[in-house]
Amino acid sequence: MKWIKEFSEWIIIPFILVVSITTFVIQPTEVLGSSMEPTLHNEDRVYISKISHTLNYEPDYGDIVIIDSHINSDHTLKEDIIENPIISLIYQNQDHNVWIKRVVGKSGDTLEFKDNKVYRNGKLLEEPYIKEAMLDNPDRTVVVPENHVFVMGDNRNNSSDSRIIGCVPLDHILGKRLF
């Protein structure tokens, strides 16, 4: 009986604590690809704050967010736990991907793409963080639906973002980049 008590004190309790912290508070992740260059590069390690996801906060303009790639299905607490990096190691969950993008539009915003530039609610966005000007981006207008955000990569000519995948539901924003 003493062995079981010691085992739970040294293994089970710390395991539950680490899983809880990486599910609800802070989580490391790795950048895969070049869609966020020059801000983030392939294989950079970033730490994300999960508090905004846990407390259902809407991200701010310019925030770099981590997105659950399964945007066409509901995101639940069960998925948060299963997709935790530590639980993924145990179950070898290779099916899950996350995307890292920058928030450009929030609920109710009208985004216009014209002359390879982005306008939000009629004002040209100043984007000193982008790698280069967009090329071959067709002119169009998008209204961001309620409880969604519009995200784009900083490497606009090499990013699968809301221009392709559509607006992202807020419950699929898993957190925002801390450092």
CATH number where 45 lies: 2.10.109.10
- For the chain, how many structural domains are there in total? 1
Alpha helices (runs of H) in 55-136, residue ranges in sequence order:
77-82, 85-91
Q: Please list the active-site residues.
A: 35, 101
Q: Most confidently modeled of 96-100, 105-109, 135-139, 156-160?
A: 105-109
pLDDT for residue 48: 79
pLDDT band at 118; cut points 50, 70, 90: very high
pLDDT for residue 1: 74
Which of 164, 129, 166 shows the shortest CA–CA distance to 148? Answer: 166
Expressed in angstroms, the distance from the first to the final Cα of the chain is 44
| 74-92 pLDDT tens trace | 666 666 666 666 666 666 6
Q: How far apart are CA 55 and CA 164, in angstroms?
A: 28
Residue 159 lies in domain: 2-103+152-177
In a domain, 144, yes or no: no
pLDDT for residue 84: 65
pLDDT for residue 65: 92
In a domain, 158, yes or no: yes
In a domain, 128, yes or no: no
Alpha helices (runs of H) in 35-83, residue ranges in sequence order:
51-54, 77-82
In a domain, 124, yes or no: no
pLDDT for residue 11: 80
| 7-41 pLDDT tens trace | 777 887 788 887 777 777 778 788 888 899 999 88
pTM: 0.79
Strand order in the sheet with 64-68: 26-30, 45-49, 173-177, 64-68, 98-106, 148-152, 168-169
In a domain, 75, yes or no: yes
In a domain, 96, yes or no: yes
| 42-60 pLDDT tens trace | 988 888 788 776 667 789 9
In a domain, 88, yes or no: yes
In a domain, 26, yes or no: yes
